[in-house]
Amino acid sequence: MGERLKYRILMVSDFFYPNFGGVENHIYYLSQCLLKLGHKVVVMTHAYGKRSGVRYMIGGLKVYYVPWKPFLMQNTLPTFYGTLPIIRTILIREKISLVHGHQAFSTLCHEALMHACTMGYKVIFTDHSLYGFADAGSIHMNKVLQFTLADVSQAICVSHTSKENTVLRSGLPPEKVFVIPNAVDTAMFKPASERISSDEIVIVVISRLVYRKGADLLVEVIPEVCHLYPNVRFIVGGDGPKRVRIEEMREKHSLQERVEMLGAVPHAKVRSVLISGHIFLNSSLTEAFCIAILEAASCGLLTVSTRVGGVPEVLPDDMVVLARPDPMDMVQAIEKAISMLPKIDPQAMHLRMKKLYSWHDVAKRTEIVYDRALRCSNQNLLERLSRYLTCGAWAGKLFCLVMIIDFLFWHLLQVLQPAKDIEEVPDIILPNCQHGEKPGGFL
């Protein structure tokens, strides 16, 4: 076999640094590993406060913070066509060959994939979340996802449960959807050098304090566990609208000395919080794949988690205790975890995590998806419109109208600003890109 082709990849999402979360970490670590494999990676996201324009991160990762302000929950306002000129410019300037969008919540992701398909680029979509089918918000989001993925080259999900959910919601053929789990930076998340005392058992919670993350469950679980075990203490890291309920619970049950509220925890300080505990508690009501569980296990903590979504796929049975999202069932799971603590070896658990999860492995598997996407045949506008018509009696016709206008707008831009008038960015080749080897030619 010849040398593997090197791609020029544009990662697009509303969720990226300086914001912190699972999607942000996934994009960052995947991009860094792809850069080490010799590919060119550029990230596109919206402006964060005064952070606007072009920035460079470690490893030569280039980030475009386009001058769009977040509208709701870190998402930009949907414009349909307002982002086409700047997306087209970035694609031409950076000589992009693949567009990789992340997260169904992201407005910028949906618009970038739509415009990239119009311009004939191969597109890949990664879904990081699970959605329902009955409530109004999910019905709306599922129809948008069906529109976006009607023309996608390949899709990636972070768990098998997530794949089933995405296929059902979007109508994508299952053979076009790959399962590539998240990973953890085991060099960053490692146990404390000395094992902490078991005289006082510390249970750590690090999560956004919102309904979806099960903050209401914590309100009922924490007082019961504190009542059963006088030597148990809780550390709660995170912020959100449900923080008030947890503080009220702490006041009501006089647990100020036993429940420590840290507020929002920067990602760089998450390890220092984790290594101060024995058990990690995850109370999510829905989860495609929980990176927080990986980080806790890599630090040597035994995990207690709700049995929801893709969580049962994350860790071996001897590293996690699963429970139904019910207060009493979770209390029983914590009791079981406390009884298991004497058998837990944090260093051995860390070594197992190093073998199980690696961002380099995620990048290598993502390369295979890129290879397959680029082998997909190009299709003209009529062939693409026929797929949109299958999205619904009325929605299909509306989607076709949206794509026809997008196609005409793109051709208008080609007349007003020809591609030859857009200056291409020279490639910056970092020395010793990977084990002293120079990266090959980009595709």
CA angle 226, 230, 234 (to 5 degrees): 50
pLDDT of residue 384: 87
For the chain, the farthest-separated pair of C-alpha atoms sits apart, in whole angstroms, at 74
pLDDT of residue 237: 95
pTM summary value? 0.88
pLDDT of residue 436: 38
Same-domain status, 83 and 31: yes
Same-domain status, 295 and 377: no
Same-domain status, 114 and 141: yes
- Distance separating alpha carbons of residues 35 and 11, to the nearest angstrom: 12
Same-domain status, 276 and 334: yes
* Domain-ending residue, one of 357, 372, 399: 357
Would 289 be classed as within a structural domain? yes
CA atoms within 13 A on the CB side of 190: 8
Same-domain status, 247 and 160: no
Would 228 be classed as within a structural domain? yes
Would 250 be classed as within a structural domain? yes
Q: Burial code of 169-202, b = ≥16 C-beta within 10 A, e = fewer?
A: bbebeeebbbbbbbbbbbeebbbeeeebeeeebb
Would 268 be classed as within a structural domain? yes
- Distance separating alpha carbons of residues 107 and 110, to the nearest angstrom: 5
pLDDT of residue 10: 97
**Could you tell me which residues are beta bridge partners of residue 279?**
203, 302
Same-domain status, 175 and 250: no
- Distance separating alpha carbons of residues 90 and 175, to the nearest angstrom: 31
* Domain-ending residue, one of 357, 378, 393: 357
* Domain-ending residue, one of 357, 377, 408: 357
Owning domain of residue 226: 201-357
Same-domain status, 148 and 118: yes
Would 393 be classed as within a structural domain? yes
The number of folded domains in the chain is: 2
Are 387 and 151 in contact, with CB atoms under 8 Å apart? yes
Q: Which two tokens stand for residue 111?
A: 């618009």
pLDDT of residue 2: 52
| Nearest alpha-carbon partner for 183 in 344, 363, 371 | 363
Q: Which two tokens stand for residue 213?
A: 């993350």
Q: Which two tokens stand for residue 300?
A: 């040597």
- Tens-level pLDDT at each residue, the chain (443 residues): 456 788 999 999 999 988 888 899 999 999 999 999 999 999 999 999 889 999 999 888 999 999 988 888 788 888 889 999 999 999 999 999 999 999 988 999 999 999 999 999 999 999 998 888 877 777 888 888 888 888 899 999 999 999 999 999 888 999 999 999 999 999 999 999 888 888 899 999 999 899 989 999 999 999 999 999 999 999 999 999 999 999 999 999 999 999 999 998 988 899 999 999 999 999 999 999 989 999 999 999 999 999 999 999 999 999 999 999 999 999 999 999 999 999 999 999 999 999 999 999 999 999 999 999 999 888 888 888 888 888 888 888 999 999 999 999 999 999 999 999 999 998 876 554 444 333 345 55
Same-domain status, 231 and 167: no
3 state SS for 362-384: HHHHHHHHHHHHHCCCCCCHHHH
- Give the three-class secondary structure for 63: strand
Same-domain status, 110 and 257: no
pLDDT of residue 168: 92
Would 442 be classed as within a structural domain? no
| Nearest alpha-carbon partner for 321 in 331, 308, 334 | 334
- Distance separating alpha carbons of residues 24 and 127, to the nearest angstrom: 13
Same-domain status, 217 and 158: no
Sign for the CA dihedral angle at 405, 375, 424, 47 comes to positive
Same-domain status, 327 and 415: no
pLDDT of residue 69: 84
Would 191 be classed as within a structural domain? no
Would 177 be classed as within a structural domain? yes
Burial of 56 (0-12, 13-18, 19+ CB in 10 A): exposed
Q: The domain that contains 223 carries what CATH number? A: 3.40.50.2000
Same-domain status, 162 and 231: no
